[in-house]
Amino acid sequence: MAGKQNEKRFLLRLDQALYDRLAEEADRANQSVNMYMVSLLSANHGTKSFENRQIIGKTVLGKDIHADNGLVLVAGIYYRYLINDNSDVDQTARYAVIEANGNILTLQKI
């Protein structure tokens, strides 16, 4: 119970469509919506790199992911990439950039 004393509660208003998207992503991550949002905030708090400021959350078209050379084009820059579930690239799908580690981006199909 001591950990609960260090937690801060606050009201956050989201439109239904955003909440539904977060709920789906939380379900895929096997987390509650609250824990998923805390993990997103924790992962992105205080990050100072260009990628974390400008690239995280960007949407990438499958046609911009080049499986043959392992590169993805995001905001005019080529990066190496990983797909979060190790699936093959679906050229017709859209992907979200969910993590940046140096010049390697982690993508999640949306």
Q: Is 3 helix (H, G, I), strand (E, B) or coil?
A: helix
For residues 14 and 105, what is the distance between their CA atoms, to the nearest angstrom? 27
- The answer on 33 and 53 residing in a single domain is no
For residues 69 and 61, what is the distance between their CA atoms, to the nearest angstrom? 16
Report how many helices (DSSP H) and strands (DSSP E) the chain contains, helices first: 4, 6
Q: What is the pTM of this model?
A: 0.55
Q: Which conformational region is residue 85 in: left (phi greater than 0), alpha (psi within -120 to 50 degrees), or beta?
A: alpha
- The answer on 53 and 41 residing in a single domain is no
46-85 per-position pLDDT tens digit: 656 666 667 888 899 999 999 899 999 988 889 999 999 9
Q: How many domains does the chain have?
A: 2
Supply the range of the domain harboring residue 30.
11-45
- The answer on 57 and 33 residing in a single domain is no
- The answer on 26 and 78 residing in a single domain is no
Largest CA distance in the chain: 52
- The answer on 71 and 58 residing in a single domain is yes
